[in-house]
Amino acid sequence: MKILHITPQLEPELGGIATFAARLLEGLAARGHEQRVITAHGRLPLGDAGEYQGVALDRVPLFEALETRSPALLLRCRTRAAAVKRQFAPEIIHVHIGGPVAFLHLATSQESPAPLVVTVHDLPEDLASSASLLTLLDSASALTANSMIRRGEIARALPNTDARLQCIHPMLPDRREADGNGDRAAAPLLMTGGRLVPEKGFDTALDAMVLILRRHPRATLVITGDGDQREALARRIDTLGLAGAVTLAGRLDDDRLAALRRQAWITLVPSLSESFGLVALEAMQAGAVVVASRTGGLPEVVADGDTGVLVPPGDAAAMADAVNALIDDDDTRTRLRLAAQARARAHFPFERFIDAYQSLFARASGRGTRHP
Protein backbone atom coordinates (compact mmCIF):
# COMPACT_ATOMS: atom_id res chain seq x y z
CA MET A 1 0.00 0.00 0.00
CA LYS A 2 1.22 3.53 -0.79
CA ILE A 3 0.98 5.65 2.36
CA LEU A 4 1.80 9.36 2.62
CA HIS A 5 2.47 10.54 6.18
CA ILE A 6 2.27 14.25 7.08
CA THR A 7 3.76 14.97 10.50
CA PRO A 8 4.98 18.01 12.42
CA GLN A 9 8.02 16.11 13.70
CA LEU A 10 10.20 13.14 12.87
CA GLU A 11 13.43 11.83 14.32
CA PRO A 12 16.11 13.08 14.78
CA GLU A 13 13.84 15.67 16.38
CA LEU A 14 12.87 14.98 19.97
CA GLY A 15 9.35 14.33 21.18
CA GLY A 16 6.60 11.77 21.32
CA ILE A 17 5.19 12.57 17.88
CA ALA A 18 8.64 12.25 16.27
CA THR A 19 9.19 8.88 17.94
CA PHE A 20 5.65 7.65 17.19
CA ALA A 21 5.92 8.56 13.51
CA ALA A 22 9.39 7.05 13.18
CA ARG A 23 8.46 3.70 14.74
CA LEU A 24 5.28 3.48 12.63
CA LEU A 25 7.29 4.13 9.47
CA GLU A 26 9.79 1.44 10.40
CA GLY A 27 7.14 -1.13 11.24
CA LEU A 28 5.14 -0.57 8.06
CA ALA A 29 8.29 -0.56 5.92
CA ALA A 30 9.23 -3.96 7.34
CA ARG A 31 5.90 -5.27 6.03
CA GLY A 32 6.50 -4.04 2.51
CA HIS A 33 4.44 -0.86 2.38
CA GLU A 34 5.63 1.95 0.14
CA GLN A 35 5.74 5.20 2.11
CA ARG A 36 6.65 8.84 1.83
CA VAL A 37 6.83 11.54 4.52
CA ILE A 38 6.27 15.28 4.62
CA THR A 39 7.44 16.87 7.86
CA ALA A 40 7.06 20.48 8.91
CA HIS A 41 10.50 21.26 10.34
CA GLY A 42 12.29 22.32 7.20
CA ARG A 43 15.09 24.12 9.02
CA LEU A 44 16.79 20.95 10.26
CA PRO A 45 20.10 19.82 8.72
CA LEU A 46 18.53 17.39 6.25
CA GLY A 47 17.21 20.31 4.22
CA ASP A 48 14.16 20.08 1.98
CA ALA A 49 14.52 16.48 0.84
CA GLY A 50 16.24 13.30 1.85
CA GLU A 51 15.22 10.02 3.38
CA TYR A 52 14.55 8.43 6.74
CA GLN A 53 15.35 4.73 7.14
CA GLY A 54 15.00 4.29 3.39
CA VAL A 55 11.70 6.24 3.17
CA ALA A 56 11.65 9.35 0.96
CA LEU A 57 11.37 12.45 3.15
CA ASP A 58 10.41 16.03 2.31
CA ARG A 59 10.95 18.75 4.90
CA VAL A 60 8.99 21.97 4.42
CA PRO A 61 9.59 25.15 6.48
CA LEU A 62 6.01 25.44 7.76
CA PHE A 63 6.89 26.47 11.31
CA GLU A 64 9.31 29.11 10.03
CA ALA A 65 6.67 30.36 7.57
CA LEU A 66 4.13 30.79 10.36
CA GLU A 67 6.61 32.35 12.80
CA THR A 68 7.78 34.91 10.23
CA ARG A 69 4.34 35.31 8.61
CA SER A 70 5.99 34.84 5.23
CA PRO A 71 3.58 34.34 2.30
CA ALA A 72 6.52 33.24 0.13
CA LEU A 73 7.47 30.47 2.55
CA LEU A 74 3.84 29.37 2.93
CA LEU A 75 3.57 29.14 -0.84
CA ARG A 76 6.77 27.08 -0.93
CA CYS A 77 5.29 24.69 1.63
CA ARG A 78 2.06 24.33 -0.30
CA THR A 79 3.82 23.88 -3.64
CA ARG A 80 6.11 21.16 -2.30
CA ALA A 81 3.31 19.27 -0.56
CA ALA A 82 1.19 19.43 -3.71
CA ALA A 83 4.05 18.11 -5.84
CA VAL A 84 4.63 15.19 -3.46
CA LYS A 85 0.96 14.21 -3.58
CA ARG A 86 0.89 14.30 -7.39
CA GLN A 87 4.15 12.39 -7.82
CA PHE A 88 3.59 9.77 -5.15
CA ALA A 89 -0.15 9.17 -5.80
CA PRO A 90 -0.86 7.74 -2.32
CA GLU A 91 -3.62 5.27 -1.53
CA ILE A 92 -3.83 6.61 2.04
CA ILE A 93 -2.90 9.98 3.52
CA HIS A 94 -2.05 9.86 7.23
CA VAL A 95 -1.86 13.19 9.09
CA HIS A 96 -0.43 13.50 12.61
CA ILE A 97 -2.07 16.34 14.53
CA GLY A 98 0.19 18.02 17.07
CA GLY A 99 0.90 21.31 15.35
CA PRO A 100 -0.27 23.36 12.36
CA VAL A 101 0.17 20.59 9.77
CA ALA A 102 -3.54 20.57 8.85
CA PHE A 103 -2.61 23.32 6.39
CA LEU A 104 -0.30 21.01 4.42
CA HIS A 105 -3.17 18.66 3.65
CA LEU A 106 -6.09 21.07 3.34
CA ALA A 107 -4.23 23.48 1.05
CA THR A 108 -3.42 20.60 -1.30
CA SER A 109 -6.47 18.36 -0.87
CA GLN A 110 -7.41 18.68 -4.54
CA GLU A 111 -4.14 16.96 -5.52
CA SER A 112 -5.15 13.51 -4.27
CA PRO A 113 -8.46 11.67 -3.77
CA ALA A 114 -6.87 9.26 -1.28
CA PRO A 115 -8.78 8.60 1.96
CA LEU A 116 -7.57 10.51 4.99
CA VAL A 117 -6.64 9.00 8.37
CA VAL A 118 -5.84 11.42 11.20
CA THR A 119 -3.93 10.57 14.38
CA VAL A 120 -4.61 13.13 17.10
CA HIS A 121 -1.69 13.59 19.48
CA ASP A 122 -2.64 17.01 20.84
CA LEU A 123 -5.74 19.18 20.65
CA PRO A 124 -5.75 22.98 21.03
CA GLU A 125 -7.76 24.35 23.92
CA ASP A 126 -9.65 26.57 21.48
CA LEU A 127 -10.62 23.70 19.16
CA ALA A 128 -14.01 25.26 18.40
CA SER A 129 -12.28 28.28 16.84
CA SER A 130 -9.80 26.26 14.79
CA ALA A 131 -11.63 26.08 11.48
CA SER A 132 -8.86 24.29 9.59
CA LEU A 133 -8.48 21.56 12.22
CA LEU A 134 -12.25 21.05 12.44
CA THR A 135 -12.39 20.74 8.65
CA LEU A 136 -9.57 18.20 8.68
CA LEU A 137 -11.19 16.07 11.39
CA ASP A 138 -14.56 16.22 9.66
CA SER A 139 -13.08 15.05 6.36
CA ALA A 140 -11.21 12.07 7.81
CA SER A 141 -12.32 8.54 6.98
CA ALA A 142 -10.90 7.42 10.32
CA LEU A 143 -9.45 9.05 13.43
CA THR A 144 -7.11 7.61 16.03
CA ALA A 145 -6.11 8.81 19.48
CA ASN A 146 -2.97 7.66 21.27
CA SER A 147 -4.68 7.15 24.63
CA MET A 148 -8.15 6.44 25.96
CA ILE A 149 -8.23 9.76 27.77
CA ARG A 150 -7.42 11.56 24.50
CA ARG A 151 -10.12 9.56 22.72
CA GLY A 152 -12.64 10.67 25.34
CA GLU A 153 -11.63 14.31 24.94
CA ILE A 154 -12.09 14.14 21.17
CA ALA A 155 -15.44 12.36 21.42
CA ARG A 156 -16.75 14.94 23.89
CA ALA A 157 -15.54 17.87 21.83
CA LEU A 158 -16.69 16.40 18.50
CA PRO A 159 -19.54 13.91 19.08
CA ASN A 160 -19.93 13.33 15.33
CA THR A 161 -16.49 11.66 15.23
CA ASP A 162 -17.27 8.86 17.71
CA ALA A 163 -18.06 6.18 15.11
CA ARG A 164 -14.83 6.91 13.20
CA LEU A 165 -12.61 7.19 16.27
CA GLN A 166 -10.48 4.52 17.92
CA CYS A 167 -7.63 4.40 20.41
CA ILE A 168 -4.33 2.90 19.26
CA HIS A 169 -1.66 3.03 21.92
CA PRO A 170 1.82 3.75 20.57
CA MET A 171 4.19 0.87 21.17
CA LEU A 172 7.91 0.43 20.74
CA PRO A 173 10.11 -2.35 19.37
CA ASP A 174 11.38 -4.53 22.20
CA ARG A 175 15.14 -4.03 22.11
CA ARG A 176 15.51 -6.85 24.66
CA GLU A 177 18.24 -5.07 26.55
CA ALA A 178 20.01 -7.31 29.01
CA ASP A 179 18.84 -7.00 32.60
CA GLY A 180 21.05 -4.20 33.78
CA ASN A 181 20.40 -4.48 37.51
CA GLY A 182 24.05 -5.35 38.04
CA ASP A 183 25.05 -2.09 36.32
CA ARG A 184 23.16 0.15 38.75
CA ALA A 185 25.16 3.09 40.05
CA ALA A 186 26.52 2.74 43.59
CA ALA A 187 24.77 5.93 44.74
CA PRO A 188 21.16 6.85 43.87
CA LEU A 189 21.10 7.99 40.24
CA LEU A 190 17.89 9.45 38.83
CA MET A 191 17.20 10.27 35.19
CA THR A 192 14.61 12.13 33.18
CA GLY A 193 14.53 13.66 29.73
CA GLY A 194 12.88 14.39 26.42
CA ARG A 195 12.01 17.72 24.86
CA LEU A 196 13.08 20.42 27.29
CA VAL A 197 9.86 22.44 27.30
CA PRO A 198 7.78 23.73 30.25
CA GLU A 199 4.91 21.26 29.87
CA LYS A 200 7.27 18.36 30.53
CA GLY A 201 7.61 19.51 34.16
CA PHE A 202 11.40 19.56 34.55
CA ASP A 203 11.08 22.46 37.01
CA THR A 204 9.11 20.11 39.25
CA ALA A 205 11.90 17.54 39.03
CA LEU A 206 14.46 20.16 40.07
CA ASP A 207 12.33 21.28 43.02
CA ALA A 208 11.92 17.63 44.02
CA MET A 209 15.67 17.15 43.80
CA VAL A 210 16.23 19.85 46.43
CA LEU A 211 14.05 17.81 48.82
CA ILE A 212 15.60 14.47 47.85
CA LEU A 213 19.10 15.73 48.61
CA ARG A 214 18.13 16.58 52.19
CA ARG A 215 17.59 12.88 52.81
CA HIS A 216 19.98 11.38 50.26
CA PRO A 217 22.86 13.85 49.79
CA ARG A 218 24.69 11.53 47.35
CA ALA A 219 21.75 11.37 44.92
CA THR A 220 22.24 12.76 41.41
CA LEU A 221 19.92 13.54 38.50
CA VAL A 222 20.74 13.40 34.78
CA ILE A 223 18.43 15.26 32.39
CA THR A 224 18.77 14.15 28.76
CA GLY A 225 17.46 15.85 25.66
CA ASP A 226 17.30 19.38 24.35
CA GLY A 227 14.79 22.13 23.73
CA ASP A 228 13.78 25.74 24.25
CA GLN A 229 13.95 25.48 28.05
CA ARG A 230 17.55 24.29 28.28
CA GLU A 231 19.08 27.64 29.20
CA ALA A 232 16.32 28.40 31.71
CA LEU A 233 16.84 25.01 33.35
CA ALA A 234 20.60 25.63 33.55
CA ARG A 235 19.96 28.93 35.34
CA ARG A 236 17.48 27.30 37.70
CA ILE A 237 19.96 24.54 38.54
CA ASP A 238 22.44 27.22 39.60
CA THR A 239 19.82 29.21 41.52
CA LEU A 240 18.76 26.14 43.50
CA GLY A 241 22.36 25.19 44.26
CA LEU A 242 22.09 21.93 42.32
CA ALA A 243 25.12 22.33 40.06
CA GLY A 244 26.94 19.43 41.68
CA ALA A 245 23.94 17.11 41.69
CA VAL A 246 22.11 17.73 38.39
CA THR A 247 23.57 17.33 34.90
CA LEU A 248 22.06 18.56 31.64
CA ALA A 249 23.47 15.83 29.42
CA GLY A 250 22.01 16.97 26.11
CA ARG A 251 21.00 14.52 23.43
CA LEU A 252 22.38 11.01 23.82
CA ASP A 253 22.63 8.34 21.15
CA ASP A 254 20.79 5.06 21.68
CA ASP A 255 23.77 3.24 23.18
CA ARG A 256 24.55 5.96 25.71
CA LEU A 257 20.89 6.31 26.63
CA ALA A 258 20.59 2.54 27.15
CA ALA A 259 23.71 2.58 29.35
CA LEU A 260 22.28 5.41 31.44
CA ARG A 261 19.00 3.51 31.89
CA ARG A 262 20.94 0.50 33.16
CA GLN A 263 22.74 2.68 35.69
CA ALA A 264 19.73 4.69 36.89
CA TRP A 265 17.81 3.69 40.00
CA ILE A 266 14.66 5.61 39.08
CA THR A 267 13.28 7.37 35.98
CA LEU A 268 11.20 10.50 36.53
CA VAL A 269 8.40 11.53 34.16
CA PRO A 270 7.26 14.83 35.72
CA SER A 271 4.99 15.99 32.86
CA LEU A 272 2.33 18.59 33.57
CA SER A 273 0.37 17.27 30.60
CA GLU A 274 0.95 14.18 28.49
CA SER A 275 -1.24 12.63 25.82
CA PHE A 276 0.36 9.21 26.29
CA GLY A 277 3.86 8.95 27.74
CA LEU A 278 6.36 7.18 25.47
CA VAL A 279 9.22 8.15 27.80
CA ALA A 280 7.58 6.12 30.58
CA LEU A 281 7.01 3.16 28.25
CA GLU A 282 10.63 3.23 27.05
CA ALA A 283 11.83 3.25 30.64
CA MET A 284 9.53 0.38 31.66
CA GLN A 285 10.55 -1.67 28.65
CA ALA A 286 14.17 -1.28 29.75
CA GLY A 287 13.30 -2.44 33.26
CA ALA A 288 13.39 0.97 34.96
CA VAL A 289 11.48 2.04 38.06
CA VAL A 290 9.22 4.94 37.02
CA VAL A 291 7.85 7.81 39.11
CA ALA A 292 5.45 9.73 36.87
CA SER A 293 2.75 12.37 37.01
CA ARG A 294 -0.85 11.23 37.19
CA THR A 295 -1.88 13.15 34.09
CA GLY A 296 -3.14 12.47 30.59
CA GLY A 297 -2.39 9.00 29.29
CA LEU A 298 0.36 8.19 31.81
CA PRO A 299 -1.99 6.15 34.07
CA GLU A 300 -2.68 3.95 31.03
CA VAL A 301 1.04 3.15 30.91
CA VAL A 302 2.09 3.11 34.57
CA ALA A 303 -0.03 1.07 36.98
CA ASP A 304 0.33 2.95 40.27
CA GLY A 305 1.86 0.78 42.96
CA ASP A 306 2.19 -2.21 40.64
CA THR A 307 4.60 -1.15 37.89
CA GLY A 308 5.60 2.32 39.12
CA VAL A 309 4.41 5.24 41.21
CA LEU A 310 2.10 8.07 40.15
CA VAL A 311 2.06 11.48 41.84
CA PRO A 312 0.01 14.65 41.26
CA PRO A 313 1.44 16.75 38.39
CA GLY A 314 3.48 19.70 39.55
CA ASP A 315 3.76 18.38 43.13
CA ALA A 316 7.49 18.37 43.89
CA ALA A 317 6.97 17.26 47.50
CA ALA A 318 4.97 14.20 46.43
CA MET A 319 7.57 13.31 43.82
CA ALA A 320 10.37 13.65 46.38
CA ASP A 321 8.49 11.51 48.90
CA ALA A 322 7.97 8.77 46.30
CA VAL A 323 11.62 8.83 45.23
CA ASN A 324 12.92 8.84 48.80
CA ALA A 325 10.75 5.87 49.70
CA LEU A 326 12.00 3.92 46.68
CA ILE A 327 15.64 4.73 47.35
CA ASP A 328 15.16 3.33 50.86
CA ASP A 329 13.47 0.12 49.69
CA ASP A 330 15.52 -2.18 47.46
CA ASP A 331 12.86 -4.90 47.43
CA THR A 332 10.12 -2.55 46.19
CA ARG A 333 12.37 -1.17 43.48
CA THR A 334 13.14 -4.70 42.29
CA ARG A 335 9.47 -5.70 42.33
CA LEU A 336 8.38 -2.61 40.40
CA ARG A 337 11.24 -2.91 37.91
CA LEU A 338 10.41 -6.50 36.99
CA ALA A 339 6.66 -5.85 36.88
CA ALA A 340 7.17 -2.75 34.70
CA GLN A 341 9.20 -4.67 32.15
CA ALA A 342 6.67 -7.51 32.09
CA ARG A 343 3.77 -5.06 31.59
CA ALA A 344 5.54 -3.20 28.80
CA ARG A 345 6.17 -6.42 26.91
CA ALA A 346 2.75 -7.98 27.54
CA HIS A 347 0.48 -4.96 27.09
CA PHE A 348 2.38 -2.86 24.55
CA PRO A 349 3.86 -5.26 21.96
CA PHE A 350 5.13 -3.47 18.88
CA GLU A 351 3.57 -5.85 16.37
CA ARG A 352 0.10 -5.11 17.78
CA PHE A 353 0.68 -1.40 17.10
CA ILE A 354 1.66 -2.06 13.49
CA ASP A 355 -1.20 -4.57 13.04
CA ALA A 356 -3.71 -1.95 14.18
CA TYR A 357 -2.54 0.74 11.77
CA GLN A 358 -2.11 -1.67 8.88
CA SER A 359 -5.68 -2.92 9.32
CA LEU A 360 -7.03 0.61 9.72
CA PHE A 361 -5.32 1.81 6.54
CA ALA A 362 -6.58 -1.25 4.65
CA ARG A 363 -10.18 -0.61 5.72
CA ALA A 364 -9.99 3.11 4.95
CA SER A 365 -8.57 2.45 1.49
CA GLY A 366 -11.23 -0.15 0.70
CA ARG A 367 -8.80 -3.05 0.68
CA GLY A 368 -10.48 -4.78 3.61
CA THR A 369 -7.91 -7.02 5.27
CA ARG A 370 -5.61 -7.17 2.24
CA HIS A 371 -2.20 -5.59 2.76
CA PRO A 372 0.75 -4.88 0.44
In angstroms, rounded to a whole number, what is the distance separating the alpha carbons of residues 340 and 146? 20
23-79 pLDDT tens trace: 999 999 999 999 999 998 755 444 456 788 889 998 888 888 888 888 988 898 899
Distances (CA, A) of 182 to 304, 326, 361: 25, 17, 44
CB 60 within 8 A of CB 38: yes
* DSSP conformation letters of 255-276: HHHHHHHHH-SEEEE--SS-SS
- Alpha helix positions (H), 158-248: 202-215, 230-239
The pLDDT of residue 286: 86
pLDDT at position 116 over 90: yes
The pLDDT of residue 253: 87
What percentage of the chain exceeds 90 in pLDDT?
A: 62
316-369 pLDDT tens trace: 999 999 999 999 999 999 999 999 999 999 999 999 999 999 999 999 998 655
Mean pLDDT in residue range 127-149: 86
The pLDDT of residue 135: 86
H or E segment at 224?
Answer: strand 220-226
CATH 1.10.10.10 fits 2-171+349-365, yes or no: no
**Ranges in the chain annotated CATH 3.40.50.2000:** 2-171+349-365, 181-347
The pLDDT of residue 131: 80
181-347 CATH pick, 3.30.70.1050, 3.40.50.300, 3.30.300.30, 3.40.50.2000:
3.40.50.2000
In angstroms, rounded to a whole number, what is the distance separating the alpha carbons of residues 359 and 365? 10
The pLDDT of residue 217: 97
Backbone angles phi, psi at 268, to 5 degrees: -100, 135
Check residue 308 and report its DSSP letter. B
Distances (CA, A) of 79 to 57, 82, 91: 15, 5, 20
Q: Which of 70-79, 176-185, 299-308 has the lowest mean pLDDT?
A: 176-185
The pLDDT of residue 148: 93
CA nearest 10: which of 73, 123, 99, 71? 99
Report residue 83 CA to chain centroid gap. 29
Which carries the bigger pLDDT value, residue 137 or residue 353?
353
The pLDDT of residue 44: 43
Q: Which of 167-181, 203-217, 274-288 has the lowest mean pLDDT?
A: 167-181
